[in-house]
Amino acid sequence: MATPARDLRRGTVVRYAVGSVGTGGFGTLPGLVLLIYMTNTLGVSPAFAGAAFTISKIWDVIIDPWIGARSDRSLARTGARRRFMVLGAILLPVFFVLTFAVPPGLPPLLSAAWVLVAFLLAATAFSLFQVPYIALPAELVDSYDARTRLLSARVIVLTLAILAFGGGAPEIIALVVDNGGTEYLGYLAMAAVAGLVFLVAFLIASTVERSARVDRTPTAPGSDPIEGIAAPKTGMFMHFRRGWSAVRDSQPYRALLFTFVLQALAIGLMLAGVAYVAADVLHLEGTLFLFLSLIAPAMLVTPLWSVISRRIGKERAFRLATVLFGLAALSLVLLVWFPGLWLYGPVALAGAAYAGLQSLPLAMLPDTVAYDAETHGPGRAGTFSGVWTAGETAGLAFGGTILSIVLAVTGFIPTVADQTVTQPASAIVGIILGFSVIPALLMFVSLISLARYPLRKADIDRLVRHADAPPPSAAPVA
């Protein structure tokens, strides 16, 4: 049942955006430090490290649609998704710290198994928060442009979080090592600080649901679910089928999802390669300046993408951001012949485009949810966000998997803590290709699915007008 549009309050925007402090951190750190932690501190071969990434993301693809469907059921029966978000906020810090608590001296295979199990639990806890969090914009606001405003604020916070975590995590590790600690202790300290930030940010964001536009009241056990929203009692397999039926049924959602997953794969590949480019190609002490060159432009131009989308539409602005990012990534292949600090220029251009790649598809996602509610009935926002989160996390992590395969094929030499080696020229070329050509190709391929996205501003405005229209009055009594 459609509900009238409501104004987007500043407090709602702020509390929702705060959640991206944590989502940006967890989205950044595994791709940035987990692979190099396994290959350069635990002595795990790139092939085994990549396998651990792959297994964990296969689990995400399975669990996220189930969490989304359960979140929809909770919304229908109790009027809230919040309990999932709070549970994820509490559990994630514990399991994230365990991921980086591998005892020194364990054999590489046992170390890889430890990381895999702990990271599987951390990823599950993150999904408990992230899936309902992604579903909320469709319930917070109706307007095509207001959704862009809500998600633009989130992306500004997200880029700040990526900068803070991406630049700060290596600095915390280095600080511990410089003061006499081991690399193992440095990673553990980094994880503890990050876990505390996750907890605070997620708990703040979990309060935003009280401002959700959908007016629902809890239903008593055994009573009918909220009007228009089914809450069937089904197992994990049925929830999984429901998630993928949403992909099959909604062409706008399917086109947007495929585009976003391909781009997450490209971004995850570049993110995993940052530490290797800094250490093995440029021989830098850290990654802080690389992250500054990426994130500073993103923070500056995020509001600009909102303006551009209002002028030409979200889908055209999204296409422009994709092309800019692809061209910037492709130009970095010149590092093979001319390694140097000139790369900060293309990285800055990629950062400006990255702001659009984050804010625009997330602003388009609630539009696909609203369109699906109009054409197939309400009640699948959590299902959509579950599949979306599975695709995003899988894409980001499979980027690390692709890089690990490239490193293994090109002869990268793994090391343990405090050990240094000179990588062969073939491995250096592999690092650069994984940081440039392969992400660029993925970006350009994503334009094919983006071209099939059909929704425009007029379509969403029509849905809002329909929601605001008063019900037809009863015929007068003779």
CATH number at residue 109: 1.20.1250.20
Segment 188-200 mean pLDDT: 95
Listed in sequence order, the DSSP H helices in 282-380 are: 288-312, 314-331, 344-376
Q: Is residue 466 assigned to a domain?
A: no
What are the angstrom distances between the C-alpha of 232 and each of 9, 242, 249, 413, 477? 33, 11, 19, 52, 41
For residue 165, what pLDDT is reported? 86
* Structure-token pair, residue 38: 């396994």
The pLDDT value recorded for residue 12 is 81
CB 355, CB 442: distance < 8 Å: no
Token pair in block for residue 464: 């809002």
Give the residue numbers spanning the domain of 346: 10-213+247-454
Comparing 58 with 90, the larger pLDDT belongs to 90
pLDDT (mean) for 80-104: 91
CA 175-176-180 angle, to 5 degrees, is: 115
* pLDDT classification of 72: cutoffs 50, 70, 90: confident
What is the arithmetic mean of pLDDT over 333-342? Answer: 92
pLDDT in tens, 403-455: 888 988 998 877 665 667 778 889 999 999 999 999 999 999 999 999 999 88
| Model confidence at 469: pLDDT above 60 | no
Supply the mean pLDDT for the chain. 80
pLDDT above 60 for 271:
yes
> Residue 5 domain-assigned?
no
Please indicate, yes or no, if residue 162 is contained in any of the structural domains.
yes
pLDDT of residue 452: 93
Asked if the structure places residue 74 within a domain, the reply is yes
What residues have CB less than 8 Å from 330, skipping those under 6 apart? 436, 437, 440
> How far is CA 223 from each of CA 123, 172, 220, 226, 232, rounded to the nearest angstrom?
34, 53, 5, 9, 12
Over residues 170-189, the mean pLDDT reads 89
Is the four-CA dihedral 378, 381, 383, 384 of positive or negative sign?
positive
Residue owning tokens 């509490």: 90
Write down the pLDDT at residue 221: 41
Domain count, the chain: 1
pLDDT band, residue 7 (cuts 50/70/90)? low
Q: Residue 77 has what DSSP assignment?
A: H
Does residue 470 belong to any structural domain of this protein? no
Coil, strand or helix at 207: helix
Residue 273 CA to residue 392 CA, distance in Å, equals 18
pLDDT for 453 equals: 92
Q: Is the dihedral of CA 273, 41, 164, 194 positive or negative?
A: positive
Give 186's pLDDT tier (boundaries 50, 70, 90): very high
Q: Looking at the domain assignment, is residue 223 inside a domain? A: no
Candidate ranges 177-181, 344-348, 385-389; pick with highest mean pLDDT = 344-348
Average pLDDT over residues 280-305: 79
Collect all residues with Cβ–Cβ distance below 8 Å to 445 and sequence separation of at least 6: 262
For the segment 13-41, what is each residue's pLDDT rounded down to a tens digit? 888 889 889 888 887 787 678 878 888 88
How far from each other are the two terminal CA atoms of the chain, in whole angstroms? 31
State mean pLDDT over 93-106.
92
Task: Please name the residues in contact with 423: beta carbons below 8 A apart, sequence gap of 6 or more.
Answer: 280, 411, 412, 413
Residue 355 domain-assigned? Answer: yes
Query: What pLDDT is attached to residue 475?
Result: 47
Buried-exposed string 204-224: b where 16+ CB fall within 10 A, e elsewhere: bbbbbbebbbbebeeeeeeee
Average pLDDT over residues 70-91: 82
Whether 186 and 180 have beta carbons less than 8 Å apart is answered as no
- Rounded to a whole number of angstroms, the CA Rg of the chain reads 22
Contacts 24+ apart (CB under 8 A), 34-38: 34/99, 34/115, 34/119, 34/400, 35/272, 35/400, 35/403, 35/404, 36/275, 36/276, 37/100, 37/115, 37/187, 38/111, 38/112, 38/115
Residue 463 is assigned to a structural domain of this protein: no
For every residue of 153-170, DSSP letters joined together read HHHHHHHHHHHHHHHHHH
Q: Where are the beta strands (DSSP E) in 128-190?
A: none
